[in-house]
Structure 1
Amino acid sequence: MKRNFLIFVLSILTLPALQRYAVADGIPLQDQCELITTLPERAAEMMVTVDGFVNGLSDFDLQSKTLTIGTVTREEYLEFLKGRAMEYTYEDVEKLKRVAASITKKLDDAGLHPAFPPIIEVIKTDMKEESGASAYTRLNYIAMSADMFGMSDKDFEDVFIHELFHVLSRNNQQLQGKIYNSLGFKKSNEVPYPDGIQRISNPDAPFNNYYITVESADGPVDAMLVLYSLKDYEGGSFFRYAKLGLMVVEGDDNNKTPVVKDGKPVILQLDEVSNFFEQVGRNTGYIIHPEEASADHFRMLVNKESAPDQWIIDKLKTIIQESGS
């Protein structure tokens, strides 16, 4: 009896150590969706999947996302990704459970039932692949930085809601189009970045196929939000190189091409045009792409936050509800 009791006591004392690394079988998120805490081996398999994001990476991307000066191949980039995923701790999993329960209640209270895919995998990463960003998405997974798991539940939840929208949007192209349209953006062909600027790719929005009509000094123009660098990669975070502008395009919706003047693409700054914020709103400063603006609006909607241009939030709610998502 004494021996058995001693074994029992030792098992209790060592339980935290045994649970230092943990996974969850499936964390429920509202209706038919489950969050899976993904082991590093499985995470590496997903992260090296070649998709539209990987295929669209520029030379600048390949260098900056591996923190390498000089030529980097896609194969070398994918190899770099293999070492980014990390193990979950017991505390990490418990945080994700609390956040999922909180988001579920908020969605239910708001009368929202987004059509998330049945399974969303959640990866914990050192985030070196995205210069220390808080989070990003690809395919049907959300990558959260290790630092985020040390943040408050509220801060973690705000970021997670934003990322959930990206998964929803990626899996519902019709819904995505309606939401982008509500901000004034219209669908076109994919428009490659022209010579003169270097593409900085965003895994949440890897495509360049939506434009908005704004008023410039020369009259109305069609333009695309672009994130770019004017310099070659010289080391450090890609955030220090990033510039945002409106690249002017011409042609019909199936044949948009950049307008080039004196051998350079015409890129307007947001303060050089009018009728941009009247369409996109002033609710968020995260307007590098209609996808990111929409994700922030989704966060505001779920959190029932008030906003300067509340009509955008109200319209987003109507679109989601009417779409059956």
Structure 2
Amino acid sequence: MSSTPTQATPVSGAGASGFSWSRMLQAPLFGSSIALVVALIVFSLLSPRFLTLGNFSLILQQSVVIGILAVAQTLIILTAGIDLSIGSIAVLGTVVLAIGSGSSGAVIGLLLALIVCVALGSLNGALVTLLRLPPFIVTLGSFTAIVAATRLVAGSQTFTVTDPILVFLGTTFRIGAFVTTYGVVTMLLVYLVVGYALTQTAWGKHVYAVGGNAVAARLSGVKTNRTIFSVYVVAGVIAMIAAWAALGRIPNADPNAFQNANLETITAVVIGGTSLFGGRGGVLGTLIGTLIVGVLRNGLTLAGVDNLYQNIATGVLVIVAVTIDQFMRRRTAR
């Protein structure tokens, strides 16, 4: 007797082409992209000045430093870590840049800042990998020490920077009617380079593997400690670039600047869909998250909302993003 082949039952929400609404809704970039579009629509209705080229240029320029630092934060969070010191490393970098260039020239200042930022990132990475200390505790301690060290080095003074090389990233230029700065270009280049490294190189695959399951990655031959350490080193390099961009944005090396940078980078990363538990996300989502934060602050400012309420709104966004991440992880694990 011949048997009739059993017909597979189609998955709910999926068509013949394999499209699935549930899969699309779970995509990290989908939620952040929708949030950005909604924010643009809402603020364009609240203020006639919002939808202008000049305002969009301002949003990008205001997002440069946090946007660059958020790339470093993304790398560390992808390995299931976190860095509470990345902003303070960049601030120390600005002070070293200012002092070093004042005594030995801009090139020496840039080199000294790079050495300092990479050394601090390497120290964090060594403590996490060699001593197996939790990244939260390591970078919290580093944050406290670096903030104090920065004020000691600066003597609690603010240094004005005038060297053309140090303020170069703040130079404006036109693309048609749109005015932007070389700092914005630098930020986008950092995203492109790191995005390529994460998606097209073995190193990037190792970063995701370590964050997804460090034990499985180690058993597969991935040198987990070396990968994690390298991420903190790269974060130090990116912090130096952010320090240079900061002086282009505001030509003053202030030891008390960017006090909320650490939390703002985490905000951009989480809103952009990168999981705090590692192994999922990427820099494209972080760029969208950075723009969401920039649009939110700019739009609320144009609407006349007090800065304290802006912080409340940003905090709520983070909680919502983490809640969604938790929900998606539990649903995927079923």
- The two structures have a TM-score, normalised by structure 2, of 0.24
| Larger helix fraction of residues | 2
Q: Of the two structures, which has the highest relative contact order with CA contacts closer than 8 Å and spacing of 6 or more?
A: 2
| Larger strand fraction of residues | 1
- The two structures have a TM-score, normalised by structure 1, of 0.24
